[in-house]
Amino acid sequence: MAANVLRRHIGVPGLVVHYLTSVLGVGLLVIPVLAWSTAGPLSLLAWAVLIVYSYPFALVFAELSTLHPTSKGVAQFVEVAFGRRAGRIAALYLLMTLLAANPVLGLIAGRYLLAALAPGASNRASLAAGAVVILCCVALNLLGVRVSGRVQLTVLAVVTVFLCAVIVLALPQGSTARLQPFAPHGWAVLGDTLLICFFGFIGWENAAPIAEEVRDPARTFPRGILYAVCVVGVLYFAMALTVALTLPAGQSAQEQLTGFTRLLRLATGSDHTTLGYLVAAVLLVLTTNAWCLGTSRVVFALAREGVVPRALSRLSPRTATPYRAVLALVPGYSLTLGLLAVTDSNESVLIKASSAAYLLVFLLAFVSALRLVRSAAMRWTTRLVTAVTVLMLPFMGVSVGYAAGMFAAAALIETWQFRRERARGRPTPADSVASTAVPNTSAPRHRSHHDRRENRPHHDRTER
């Protein structure tokens, strides 16, 4: 195995587990109640639209990961489509977004844990609990993808069975009378509700950074994404329908966070609030762990190319895990956690600030896909998801300003690095034309002509 190249050992089951744990979380526990409180029965239409939309959305990322299976993820797609400097700006922006927003999941998990074990704890205590959750996930990722994947699979199976049982027991106690009127707050709130529900589908792109570790990407990604989308779609709509038929509308913010525990009480006939909080915390820990894995691979890929210190690309000889990149998450996340602790703010600040940042990440990937995908069907699919993403941006409010600020910071940092490399006489991204992609040795032969066409501009530039 070449130095600093990750092993390909993730098959379809492992990829499905990674998809599910990347997506499931607040989208299953919190957002259905929030959407129901915002739009009433109309929220079911929003869920149906996004469940259908999520397949082409995820399929574009799967196609790009198949064509360019490296740990750089979105940054690699941008680089191949628009050049090395554009790819480095995208890489820095992606890393900033991940480090700023990922702690949200661990913080919510910590808040649920404290609600179960120490009700009434302060905000700073909840932040500390969230930090412990994140540290535990970092430690689990140090054990390697095989060990981490087995733990994820086992726990996910148990939690999913439990959630299905709650839905099956609570749903018959609901009433279809709650579905009238269908749009109690008017149809104008559909846009806001779509935006709320959309956050439950953030995570499909998290599989791109682990593409370098997937066996036979051309076969594994299409199958993995199909299975994952079906499971997520069924769980999301079943939970949304259960909420709609059983819980009253117009709930307070605190009631929205405890919606799952009330479903559990309805399903069992007893008050199992503590158990509900613990189940919610466990599911969010799984999501936090999956995001730590994806982010560490982005750090590893950028270190391998010198965008961040190269020492972070060191692999463990025993587990082949980029352990230094995993450990780098601790100081990376600490900055975000420290700012929240100093200002005594909660994770809702990060959600508001990073919503447009993630949409811009998606938009970068989709615009790149317009130049990279070749089949007519995939091109039309890409146009669809690009248009929908652009339409969502105006609803993001001040979050667009935060995203623009981070992108400008990434561009400034890249410009500074470029000028410093040129001043020292080192090869710069503009000078170097060698592809940084990890060879996809598992790609089928029918892609070889496509690969030659993709590489042709690089050869032409070299000859010129």
Question: The whole model's pTM is what?
Answer: 0.80
Q: Report d(CA 346, CA 81) in Å as an integer.
A: 38
Residues facing 214 on adjacent strands: 10
Residue 203 phi/psi, 5-degree rounding, is 140, -20
Q: Structural domain of residue 323, as residue ranges? A: 12-425+444-458
* 434 domain residue, yes or no: no
* 271 domain residue, yes or no: yes
Q: Which residues contact 117 (CB under 8 A, 6 or more apart)?
A: none
Q: Report d(CA 58, CA 435) in Å as an integer.
A: 25
* 436 domain residue, yes or no: no
* 433 domain residue, yes or no: no
Q: Are 280 and 29 in contact (CB under 8 A)?
A: yes
* Structure letter (DSSP) for residue 386: H
Q: Tally the domains of the chain.
A: 1
* CATH number for position 85: 1.20.1740.10
* 3 domain residue, yes or no: no
* 7 domain residue, yes or no: no
* 435 domain residue, yes or no: no
pLDDT in tens, the chain (464 residues): 445 777 888 889 889 998 998 888 777 877 888 888 888 899 999 999 889 888 888 889 888 988 888 888 899 999 999 999 999 999 999 999 999 888 888 888 898 888 888 888 888 898 999 999 999 999 999 988 888 888 888 888 998 898 899 899 888 888 888 888 888 888 888 888 887 888 788 888 888 888 888 888 888 998 999 899 999 999 999 999 998 898 876 555 455 556 777 888 888 877 778 888 888 888 889 989 999 998 999 999 899 888 889 999 999 888 888 999 999 999 999 988 998 989 888 777 777 777 788 889 999 999 999 999 888 889 999 999 999 888 888 877 778 888 899 999 999 999 998 888 888 776 655 544 444 444 444 444 344 344 444 444 444 443 33
* 385 domain residue, yes or no: yes
